[in-house]
Chain A
Amino acid sequence: MPEREEEATTGRPEDGDGTAASSAPAVAPALAPAAKPVMEMRGISKRYGEIQALDDVSLNLAPGEIHALLGENGAGKSTLIKVMTGVVQPDIGDILIDGQKVHIGSAFDAQTYAVAAIYQEPMIFPDLTVAENIFIGHRDRGRIVNKGRMRDEAREVLARLDVHLDVQAPASTLTLAQQQTVEIAKALSLNTRVLIMDEPTASLSAHEVAQLFATIDRLKAEGVSIVFISHRLEEVFQQADRITIMRDGAWISTNLRAEMTIDEAIRQMVGREVVEFYTRTESNPGEVILQVEDLGVEGAFEGISFELREGEVLGFAGLVGARRTDVGLALFGIHPAETGRILLDGKEVRIKNSKDALRQGIAYATEDRRGHGLIFNQSIAANITLPSLDRYLNRLRLIRHSLERATALDFRERLSIRAPGVETPASSLSGGNQQKVVLSKWLDTKPRILILDEPTRGIDVGAKVEVHHLVDQLVKEGIAIILISSDLPELLPMSDRILVMREGRQMDLVEGGDVTQEQILTMAMGQAEVPAAGGGTDA
């Protein structure tokens, strides 16, 4: 679902050299030849109190094109989508469908104008069958539900997408990717002309992503325009026809894919030259403190073996679906390992729940900040002390508020958390600062081993740098870090060694200095060939 973070940035990230943001009207966006735009957004602006979420944004969509929308978090992408789907109304600006001005005031209107959106979390009904999910809410379906006909039509729609599913299966029995497909089928059945896909590949395996793109090609052949939002730039540069970049609520550029490079895209998204932010001072790993032998969880991963030393960063590379998070959850006791052994300081330990893990000095900072990271209506201080709460209780088991406050203030300073006070609720912070609170929380457990799962996902550049410096400091203090990250330019410089996983299996364990991104990617994809992706540093 569209992030809270978008509206909650504490302000514009520091524009070091002052960007030439496109306040000047740009050249008319490159338009596919001879095609009248299906949908056009003109001069859309939207303000939320202090924040200008959208500032005079324009976009047009040709029929049957895949139009990528790029931008960092806070760029305004999800607000724009909300405007397109009628969830919010723009303050100023027009929407045109087939050249006519229209008003999209609600989800109903959006359906009338054949605009639909699919988000990372599938909006489906688990108790209803696939066929029912496809046709629920159709307005022109008549008075009586004809089950047989619904089944047949459902099969037809799926056939158009070249997908085979049992239309009578309850949607709860489908995988995430299949549920997503059902949503696409639903859009198709409504003769959707503009389909917006917000990070559709974020939780898919490599195989499922390939299937999704095949499906998208079918949609394209049917003339559907697709607005594709993704942080995974390789995908974007393989699939998109045109690429639009936004930054800080403003439209920056629209180009044909061929006219763009990944570097240039990043530069426009960030607004300054991409510098090697990721610094590691020299590393001196010490003794081996953790040994993992042949670890496995049925249905998730198997055969994972590695050693971890004090003061080292072990990177976990892999594409989404490689199941790296599951390994982290096993080490942290949330989904304990079924096979294999875990040894700490040479002694075998059993980790059956998170309390065990914490007792052994293992902490895990989740990738899903919203779902598993913070209690939003509790204060920053309360969030930080939660896992170690016992340390903050006096003899009567009452909370020592002054100690708690002192700890929180200490972390606020150490990690530069921007918040008016430590008693403010966690919900009031921006994404980057929330992530820092999550990190503080785990650091407070004084771990020997810290597992960071996508620590810089979805946070602004400034905060990213701070997180990397923090990692650097931590290893100097002797903490061992397992860094799970899908961001190869981040992972490589930060890691001493890298473990590559693919679909639950361990592909290789290499030294950080000896390997290139292409090589990692190759192993992560399980291919012998280096893919002919455009341009050097892929994200």
Chain B
Amino acid sequence: MSDTLLRRLRPSQVRELITLLIIVAIILFFSTQIDNYLTGRTFNRITTEFPIVAVVAVGQLLVVLTRNLDLSVGSQVALVAWSTGFIATEVPGINPIVLLLIAMFMGVVMGGINGLIVSFGRVPAIITTLATLAIYRSVLITVANAQTIETRGLPDWIVTFPGTTLLEFGRADIRLIFLIALIVVAVVQLLLTFLPYGRRLYAIGSNPDAAGMVGLPKQRDVFLAYLGCGALAGLGGLMQMAKFGTITVDSARGLELAVIAAVVVGGANIFGGSGSAIGVMLGAILIAVLDLSLARWIGISDFARDFLLGLLILLAVAGDIVVNKRLQKIWLRARQRDEARAGPPAAAAGGGDG
């Protein structure tokens, strides 16, 4: 790929392209190894597997961009999943939109608590969200009182949610769950690209000190990011409940890890300042593709998946380091070429020694 072309794109777009290429490469590889791989069924599997992680991960991205983290999203998702499941069981006629609003509202409250403590309380994000991870989980266990949400208690529209299809292309379906993820990713991507708020998030993570000096409303912006993260975690919780039906108090344990993995594999810098929603989605897709393909591949057990996920994270970040170095070189060379073209510097004017 020519240097000039690489410079036209933002670094995050370059990374998105790479992730996409890797996904394609993996799919091609597995198509030679597994029978009936390139079918509609596989497509359906993948497009129902990644959306929940993608939605929550995109919310996490908002926070990560500012050089923070939210490790409590797993607990948030679980609490919302259980609660909405409970409500749906007790109030079977409930309007789906109302349920959605409740879910997102719960997420916003939990995210807001995190945001208040991190942003205004100035408690480091790792500490805060490590603690709320435990606190929210504890709230769930206490409220649930060992009760499990069962599929049979849930209204039909929820039970059929995973299969709910809007369009069909032969065997491949465009399912509602898939569409939700696409819409969320698109909305967040647009927000990050076109809203000044989005630019500010990148700035805050890129140089937190400068952000303060330049007068950016850092505290407010970070707080809003946590609200957004919570809202999407709430949505994710509703999707989780709808997808699995059965929700125990241990649901979504460790989800935060899968989510951060998607963020990192998707090319975002864990220290903030760069990354994109599309990248995160591609990261979630990549992980899902690997996961599902390995499961079907003879010889790889269920349990190997986490091991390989860990390896994948290392490779993704190592790859990022290499890619970024390369990009820096390309820009440097371009600048040197520009300077050479501009000619040797005019002799220091006015005897200014400098």
Direct contact between the two chains A and B in their complex (CB within 8 A): yes
Offer 24 A-B interface pairs, CB within 8 angstroms, sorted by A. A108-B215, A111-B215, A125-B203, A125-B207, A127-B202, A127-B269, A136-B199, A136-B203, A137-B215, A141-B196, A144-B195, A145-B193, A166-B335, A166-B338, A169-B7, A206-B353, A208-B354, A209-B353, A210-B354, A213-B349, A213-B354, A234-B353, A235-B352, A531-B351
Q: Would B194 and A207 count as touching, CB distance under 8 A? A: no
- Write out, one digit per residue, whether chain A residues 372-391 have a CB within 8 A of any chain B CB (1) or not (0): 00000000000000000000
Cα distance A136–B338 in the bound complex, in angstroms: 26
- With A127-B273, A210-B348 given, is the CB distance from A169 to B354 under 8 Å? no
Tell yes or no: B216 within 8 A of A by CB.
Answer: yes
Residue from B331, B332, B354 within 8 A of A201 (CB atoms): B354
Tell yes or no: A532 within 8 A of B by CB.
Answer: yes
Tell yes or no: A326 within 8 A of B by CB.
Answer: no
Tell yes or no: A533 within 8 A of B by CB.
Answer: yes
Residues of B within 8 A of A201 (CB): 354
B345's nearest neighbour on chain A, judged by CB, is A207
Q: Would B196 and A173 count as touching, CB distance under 8 A? A: no
Cα distance A141–B199 in the bound complex, in angstroms: 12
- Write out, one digit per residue, whether chain A residues 170-199 have a CB within 8 A of any chain B CB (1) or not (0): 101110000000000000000000000000
Can you name 19 extra interface pairs (CB under 8 A) apart from A123-B214, A125-B206?
Answer: A106-B215, A107-B212, A107-B213, A111-B215, A125-B203, A125-B207, A127-B202, A136-B203, A136-B216, A137-B214, A144-B194, A166-B7, A166-B338, A173-B328, A209-B354, A234-B353, A235-B353, A238-B350, A238-B351
Cα distance A8–B350 in the bound complex, in angstroms: 38
User: In residues 1-40 of chain B, which contact A (Cβ within 8 Å)?
Assistant: 7-8, 10-11
A residues near B (Cβ < 8 Å) are: 106-108, 110-111, 123-129, 132, 136-137, 141, 143-145, 164, 166, 168-170, 172-174, 201, 204-214, 234-235, 238-239, 319-320, 521, 524-525, 527, 531-533
Q: Would B215 and A136 count as touching, CB distance under 8 A? A: no
Q: Would B354 and A126 count as touching, CB distance under 8 A? A: no
Cα distance A215–B206 in the bound complex, in angstroms: 27
For A145, A168, A169, A320, the residue with the greatest tally of chain B CB atoms inside 10 Å of its CB is A145
Residue from B203, B332, B353 within 8 A of A525 (CB atoms): B353
Residue from A126, A141, A168 within 8 A of B206 (CB atoms): A126
Q: Would B209 and A319 count as touching, CB distance under 8 A? A: no
Residue from B11, B338, B342 within 8 A of A170 (CB atoms): B11
Residue from A107, A126, A213 within 8 A of B215 (CB atoms): A107
Tell yes or no: B210 within 8 A of A by CB.
Answer: yes
Cα distance A194–B274 in the bound complex, in angstroms: 33
Least CB distance, B274 to chain A, in whole angstroms: 5
Tell yes or no: B137 within 8 A of A by CB.
Answer: no
Tell yes or no: B91 within 8 A of A by CB.
Answer: no
Q: Would A166 and B194 count as touching, CB distance under 8 A? A: no
Cα distance A234–B350 in the bound complex, in angstroms: 12
Cα distance A136–B193 in the bound complex, in angstroms: 13
For B198, B203, B332, the residue with the greatest tally of chain A CB atoms inside 10 Å of its CB is B203
B344's nearest neighbour on chain A, judged by CB, is A207
Cα distance A124–B216 in the bound complex, in angstroms: 13
Q: Would B331 and A170 count as touching, CB distance under 8 A? A: yes
Tell yes or no: B200 within 8 A of A by CB.
Answer: yes
Q: Would A319 and B354 count as touching, CB distance under 8 A? A: yes
Residues of A within 8 A of B205 (CB): 127
Cα distance A126–B273 in the bound complex, in angstroms: 8
Residue from B196, B203, B328, B331 within 8 A of A128 (CB atoms): B203
Q: Would A123 and B209 count as touching, CB distance under 8 A? A: yes
Residues of A within 8 A of B338 (CB): 164, 166
Q: Would A531 and B353 count as touching, CB distance under 8 A? A: yes
Interface residues on B, range: 35 or more
Residue from A106, A129, A144, A238 within 8 A of B352 (CB atoms): A238
Least CB distance, B227 to chain A, in whole angstroms: 19
Shortest 10 CB-CB contacts between residues of A and residues of B: A209-B354, A127-B273, A173-B331, A107-B215, A123-B210, A125-B206, A127-B206, A531-B351, A210-B348, A206-B354
Cα distance A169–B332 in the bound complex, in angstroms: 10
Q: Would B351 and A145 count as touching, CB distance under 8 A? A: no
For B7, B194, B352, the residue with the greatest tally of chain A CB atoms inside 10 Å of its CB is B352
Tell yes or no: B143 within 8 A of A by CB.
Answer: no
Cα distance A127–B273 in the bound complex, in angstroms: 6
Residue from B11, B199, B331, B346 within 8 A of A132 (CB atoms): B199
Least CB distance, B262 to chain A, in whole angstroms: 20
A146's nearest neighbour on chain B, judged by CB, is B194
Residues of B within 8 A of A125 (CB): 202-203, 206-207, 210-211, 273
Residue from B269, B331, B352 within 8 A of A209 (CB atoms): B352
For A111, A123, A170, the residue with the greatest tally of chain B CB atoms inside 10 Å of its CB is A170
Least CB distance, A121 to chain B, in whole angstroms: 9
For A141, A201, A208, A211, the residue with the greatest tally of chain B CB atoms inside 10 Å of its CB is A211
Residues of B within 8 A of A320 (CB): 354
A132's nearest neighbour on chain B, judged by CB, is B199
Q: Would B351 and A136 count as touching, CB distance under 8 A? A: no
Cα distance A205–B345 in the bound complex, in angstroms: 12
Residue from A123, A525, A527 within 8 A of B213 (CB atoms): A123
Residues of A within 8 A of B200 (CB): 136-137
Residues of B within 8 A of A168 (CB): 7-8
Tell yes or no: B126 within 8 A of A by CB.
Answer: no
Least CB distance, A517 to chain B, in whole angstroms: 12
Q: Would A107 and B214 count as touching, CB distance under 8 A? A: yes
Q: Would A172 and B328 count as touching, CB distance under 8 A? A: yes
Q: Would B194 and A210 count as touching, CB distance under 8 A? A: no
Tell yes or no: B334 within 8 A of A by CB.
Answer: yes
A126's nearest neighbour on chain B, judged by CB, is B206
For B11, B332, B345, B353, the residue with the greatest tally of chain A CB atoms inside 10 Å of its CB is B353
Residues of B within 8 A of A533 (CB): 351, 353
Q: Would A169 and B335 count as touching, CB distance under 8 A? A: yes
Residues of A within 8 A of B350 (CB): 213, 238
Q: Would A173 and B213 count as touching, CB distance under 8 A? A: no
Least CB distance, B220 to chain A, in whole angstroms: 12
- With A107-B215, A125-B202 given, is the CB distance from A214 to B332 under 8 Å? no
